[in-house]
Structure 1
Amino acid sequence: MESTEVVRQYWQSVWSRDWKAVGRTLAEDVEVFWPVTREIIRGRANMVAVNSEHPNGWSIDVLNVYDAGEAVVSEVQVPQEDVGVFRVISFWTVADDVITSGREYWTMYGGEEGRDWRRKYAEVGDLP
């Protein structure tokens, strides 16, 4: 299976809340790092638990999945009721049809305002 398809299957399985299928996309010793919060999630069981125990009221829109040579990059939008919309950029390593490691940057979409000094160069808006 192509590495990009493994990542797409991961996100589809998370979205459908098929936790056994999520587990099948992850190596037993997967390691995922979230730099924004400095959390490291080690092991398939912990990664499945982090996803399955998250409060409901969310959905997942896969915006892009790119084959970047030795990594797969995914851009995902996660709207969550009563919270807002998250954007997630993930860098995945895939081997033998499973995700072996990842680095995910979760941020609130539009969660920060641009700096005053840049206003003469930029506008606020949305792009597909």
Structure 2
Amino acid sequence: MTAHTSPPVPPNPLSPSGPAPGFSTASPAVGIGSAGSLSPRECVVELWRRMEARDWSGLGALIAPDAVIDWPATGERIVGRNAFVAVNREYPEGWSIRVLDVLADPAGERVVSEVEVPQEGVGVFRVASFWTVRGGLVVAGTEYWVTVGGDAAPAWRAPWTRPLPG
């Protein structure tokens, strides 16, 4: 297996200061054994950082052994840490991750993230993810993957809408 060097995280177009707050590939990694010390928001930020770095054992350390992650757009359910890590590890290469936003309920365990996943030769995906984090581990998630510009807008909405900027 060849080593993968992650490209730098591009600036967040929604923020002049760069990537989403708390997300930086330059920040020190949280140790594998310290997931329990992460807040729910920090856990999700770290999940995306480790996925972008292809740190599969580190990613697994953030996922509960019996976690359930749903992908409703394709009708799939991923059950368990090992399956979640494997499906991401085996995903065809040529992709990167850019975190656009991460929001957390300050009094609870729910976190929402929005990321962009460009993939060479395929296009750009936008992913809205809804996570449940307990004790520093993801226990559940629902991810909605769409291809940016992949669906044509219905003609009836044309009088009230315009194309997204470029």
Q: Report the TM-score range of the alignment, normalised by the length of the smaller protein.
A: over 0.9
Alpha-carbon distance in 1 for matches of 2:62, 2:100? 19
Of the three residues 112, 117, 123, the one matched with 2:156 is 117
Instruction: Show structure 1 runs of 5+ residues with no match.
Output: none
SS of equivalent to 1:40:
strand
Give the corresponding residue for 1:14: 51
- Structure-2 separation of matches of 1:88 and 1:119: 25
Contact 2:62 2:138 (C-alpha < 8 Å) held by counterparts: yes
Contact kept in structure 1, 2:68 and 2:140, CA below 8 Å: yes
- Greater share of strand: 1
Match in the other structure for 2:133: 94
> What is the CA RMSD across the aligned residues, in angstroms?
1.1
How many Å separate the matches in 1 of 2:109 and 2:156?
A: 38
In the alignment, what sits opposite 1:105?
A: 144
Larger mean CA deviation between 100-109 and 118-127 belongs to 118-127
Structure 2: gaps (5+ residues): 1-37
Equivalent position amino acid for 1:17 in 2:
R
Percent identity among equivalent residues? Answer: 46
Equivalent residue letter for 1:41: I
Q: For the residues of structure 2 that align with 1:86 and 1:66, how far apart are their CA atoms? A: 19
Q: Which has the larger radius of gyration?
A: 2
Length, aligned pairs only: 127
Q: TM-score, normalised by structure 2?
A: 0.74
Q: Which runs of 4+ in 1 moved over 4 A?
A: none
Show the 5 A alignment for 1:1-128: 1-68=38-105, 69-126=108-165
